[in-house]
Structure 1
Amino acid sequence: MKDFIAVQDKPLLEAAGLSGFDALWDARVPAVDEPNRGRGGWSAVYKLKLGSAAYYLKRQSDYLIHSVTHPLGEPTLTREFRNIRRYHRRGIPTLDVAFFGQRKVAGERRAILLTRALDGWNDLASWLEGWSEVSVARRETILRACGELVRQLHQAGQRHGCLYPKHIFLREQGERFDTCLIDLEKTRPLMFGRGARERDLDALVRRAGWRDGDVATLLAAYLGCMPDAARVDRWRRRLLVRSISKDAQP
């Protein structure tokens, strides 16, 4: 896979001397948190600021994921880049990539993914921290925006695979919210009918800790019907059964 550099970001990266793989690999920039160690290597995230523009720089070494199509493994960033590009092609809102590249250096498999920072956005998890203090009207707007986002995802033939509140970002725009998805490492084509869709929704609902009324609003937006529709109640009951089953597992 060749290096990718976005046309709109190239002049800024070139002016900073950061338009190539080696320059981004060697750049001294502050880390967001401690590196993840596992999968036989490490993965780290950094914040990069170039004037008024902000980016997140991910660097990995031998941080591999194995699959049927890649039995020897590939960097998780390679899969994430590929999934971001697929989301864009299918009209699913997600991150914008500024640069991607991968290298083999003396047997070490390195990968870089540079994405534009979501300045002005907040993840759903942040909203949930003060959920009881959010007005009813705003809560309903957020719930509908999230339900419509998941519907858009599934209608495009994709399932997220790790749909937690921290992976949904929202930006308030007047009386509505824009939404987008991040962390696409586990994204897969949507198969096996309703069950795969339920798994995405179950992951979101369980971790959000919403009450029945909130879940009904979310599902109504997802299904494109009224919250008191029979379809909403059937889906809510199936998610409840799935949740109880998981809680019962040792």
Structure 2
Amino acid sequence: MAALPTSTSADSTTFDSWWHLQGEWVEEPNDRRGGYSGVQRIWKDGSLLYSKRQTGHIHRSLLHPFGRPTVLREQEALLGAQKAGVRVPEIVYCAAEQSPQGWRALLVTKALEGFQPIDEWYASNDRAQYGEALHEQLLVLVAETLARLHTARWQHGCIYIKHIFVRVSGEGQALKAEVALLDLEKCRRRLTRKQAALHDMLQLRRHSPWSQTDWQSLIGHYQRAMGRTFKTLDEATRH
């Protein structure tokens, strides 16, 4: 894995070689935060990678009152999630470069081979294909994945169903599901795990296709994984 610079400076030669490696836009650049940010699908040494390219596009905080590129915050979140035992895209390269013209920043990650957004999994009728036992296993994994993130006090911050990815492999008794999380750009640490939990789980409730029965099952698994109950989440299961 390449070095992961976290400062405002980067090796210019290495940075430029990654910057000039371009491919197909999978997320068209959007203009906000004082610059643009977009994602390209690229190939390097036979590996499929995703490169988030930014100019400007900074966020400000108490630690960074003058602002820094959002990919540096996302890098910290990805590393924090990995440390918490959450599957997320593996970082290949991340760096930011500041010049009189402003910021340029890159975050390059490996593709999650074989994974697909869980909403596409449902749309493909895979729930019926694999059966309810596998689907229940999937809900357990989603619950445990989010519980690990929140126990470490990381709040995803933008947890829509499309940000939960799933991969099913094997056959018969060896059938297995896996879960990963994507798009941690707005992820941040909270003072308590309860703050992280309530923000994300209530947001997920509003932006998911699960029936009330599915949601009750998910929350049950989630609260067991967290080792505690949340009255607010229990109430959300009844609506």
Scaled to the shorter chain, the TM-score interval is: 0.7 to 0.9
Q: Deviations over 1:181-236 (max 9, x none)?
A: 121122222335535412211111221131111011111211228xxxxx69x555
Deviation at 1:159, TM superposition (A): 1.8
Q: Distance in 1 between matches of 2:195 and 2:106?
A: 34
**Which residue is equivalent to 2:67?**
73
Moved >6 Å (runs of 4+)? none
Q: Distance in 1 between matches of 2:136 and 2:19?
A: 43
Q: Which runs of 5+ in 1 are unaligned?
A: 6-18, 226-230, 245-250
Q: Distance in 2 between matches of 1:203 and 1:130?
A: 24
Query: Cα 1:167–1:63, aligned 2, differ >3 Å: closer, same or farther?
Result: same
Q: Distance in 2 between matches of 1:26 and 1:78?
A: 20
Deviation at 1:173, TM superposition (A): 3.4
Tell which deviates more after alignment, 183-192 or 109-118: 183-192
TM-score by length of 1: 0.79
Deviation at 1:240, TM superposition (A): 5.2
Q: Which runs of 5+ in 2 are unaligned?
A: 6-12
Q: 1:117-156 maps to which residues of 2 (within 5 A)? A: 117-130=111-124, 133=128, 135-156=131-152
Q: 2:66 is paired with a residue of what secondary structure?
A: coil
What code does the residue aligned with 1:144 have? V
Please give the root-mean-square deviation of Cα atoms over the aligned residues, in Å. Answer: 2.6
Q: Which has the higher contact order (CA 8 A, sep 6+)?
A: 2
1:42 correspondence with 2:39: no
1:99 correspondence with 2:93: yes
Deviation at 1:96, TM superposition (A): 0.4
Q: Distance in 2 between matches of 1:55 and 1:23?
A: 15
1:218 correspondence with 2:218: yes
Contact 1:66/1:74 (<8 A) preserved: yes
**Which residue is equivalent to 2:186?**
186
What code does the residue aligned with 2:212 have? D
Q: 1:232-243 maps to which residues of 2 (within 5 A)? A: 234=231, 236-239=233-236
Query: Cα 1:155–1:4, aligned 2, differ >3 Å: closer, same or farther?
Result: same
What code does the residue aligned with 1:204 have? L
**Which residue is equivalent to 2:4?**
4
Deviation at 1:91, TM superposition (A): 2.5
Contact 1:35/1:42 (<8 A) preserved: yes
Deviation at 1:27, TM superposition (A): 2.2
**Which residue is equivalent to 2:8?**
none
Percent identity, please: 29
